[in-house]
Chain A
Amino acid sequence: MIKKVGVEWINNYDCHNSLSYENQDAGGFYHELVQHDGWTGSFIWGDSNAWEEDFKRPDKGGTADKWIDTVDFAYFTGHGSPFVAAYFRCDVPDDDRLEADNYSGPDNGDLRLGKNNLEWLAFEVCEALAFDAVKSGINYDVFDRWSKAFQGLHMILSFTTTSNDVATPGRYFAAFCDGRWPSVVFGLPEFLIGRFPLKVIDSWFEMTSCVQPDNVISAVLYANTAGTDTQNDYIHDHGHVSIDPRPGAANWFSWTWISHNC
């Protein structure tokens, strides 16, 4: 099986405040998996080459079917907010924001993912998975905003609060996932210790404890239906991976949101 990874990052915003370490953050994730775990690197787009349409559903004019939804694991780092999972530069196709449902319309969200391939999507950004968010005096919770994104997608990983702009999250997260954390975090040679992979959720939470200050809360939103158990997912070749939770495949479908104090 070919396992594919794709990442996008933005430091040099032209219409939002600039960031500093996103290239190292996303690059760390990408290179850990590609150089040390046999993944095929599909794309690593940064700044002006990182486009919102790469994530956007085709029926809204996006090209997610040609980019994000062709890989197994995607990672974005830059700015985010409760109604916008990722902010891009304003001079890229087709706009600067990857919007949630109920942002410009109840069913107008940009994300409809997993129809093709994508299992896991990490937004290393501020607040995208805040449980509650208010627009025009009405509260839209995390399910109102992101549940329709799950069309086979297993989980979204992000933060409910702001998070500090640092260089290491991507590399540590990937190393917890592929089991190389004893080498990457603790400095033990891999030939001595081997690998000990963690589940994707555990990896995300522990990574956030390894890099963020207090007051930061990370979160995961995952979907399940009959016969699936996405909460137990490891990345490919390191343990169990649930079959894709497809809406309509059974008479029930559910989403679960959990958080972790870093």
Chain B
Amino acid sequence: MSNILIFKIKPQRLDNDRFIKIAQQLGIESKIIETEDAIAVYDSKRALAYAQPGARFGGFLFFTNQTQSIGDLDSKPLSTEIAKAWTEKFLFQHHLIPKEPREPKIKFQLKMQCFSNEAKLFDGKKRKSQWITTNAYSQIYLNGILVCGPRGRVRMIFKNNEIPIMIHCGIWSEIEIFEERELIPENVAIESLKANLTGRKDTNQISDISNVRLSYFAGEYTGGPDLLHPYYFMDVEFEDKRGKKMGITKGIKQMICINATK
């Protein structure tokens, strides 16, 4: 049996000056609205908000620019290289990347990736693809395990301008070890799930379990220590006899999330 770390995170408190600098870079120069929970600013087309520590989404920076629509097809999106460079510079410049963990047992890794997102179009006869946005997204790892969830991800959506039309940046500032617990092995977690679901009168037979991934989930803060806890996320497929008769071999899928520690 191996152990896994449970982490305690602390988002940063963003003061007025730093928030104004971010707003200015994104082109908003209006009056700041601030409470203990959050800080925000908006003009007629753009809005920026940050949830302070202790708030439900503590550490979450959100920006939207409504002058363009994600669904607009008439623009040529930005190159992935420019989008990636802008994203990395933005995060670094505004100190939105977590501080280096003090404890050597914590290995933090943030990878930014970029891709051109294409829309699929159909005119009743032909299908075609068209680039629609350039998207930057993070992959955050703690000791090699993916961190996911609204307060553990960076997402940026660019159109044809260097400044994105949408930013979702949810990340902590400081991290420490809260405790170490025994990790439930993946096969044990799967068998336990199967045992729980098999034989229930309202449950069809499980035909497949796939896409099993161990991840820390940085969800909403609900009080007490702000913890990053590991879960197994998996896609469970249930047999669908009627669908099978129609020639559909795949059953009805459901994502199930189970605690990965004892």
Contacts and interface: CB of A to CB of B under 8 A. Distances in A.
Contacts of A202: 64, 66, 69-70, 166
Nearest to A83: B248
Interface of B: 33, 35, 37-38, 40, 42, 47, 49-51, 55-57, 60, 62, 64, 66, 69-73, 117, 119-124, 127, 132, 135, 137, 139, 146, 148-150, 153, 155, 157, 166, 168, 197, 202-204, 211, 213, 215, 217, 220, 233, 235-236, 238, 240, 242-243, 246-250, 252-255, 257
A163 B255 contact: yes
Residue from B246, B249, B255 having most chain A Cβ neighbours under 10 A: B255
A192 to B, nearest CB: 5
Contacts of B35: 187-189, 192
A210 B233 CA distance: 17
* Band of interface residues on A: 35 or more
B150 A193 contact: no
A14 B137 contact: no
Contacts of B168: 206, 209-210
B126 to A, nearest CB: 10
A131 interface: yes
A259 B124 contact: no
Nearest to A254: B123
Given A17-B197, A104-B246, A231-B71, A79 B233 contact: no
Contacts of B250: 81-82, 134
Contacts of A164: 233, 255, 257
A120 to B, nearest CB: 13
13 contacts: A17-B252, A81-B250, A83-B246, A133-B248, A142-B120, A168-B220, A185-B57, A196-B64, A205-B157, A209-B150, A220-B71, A239-B66, A257-B121
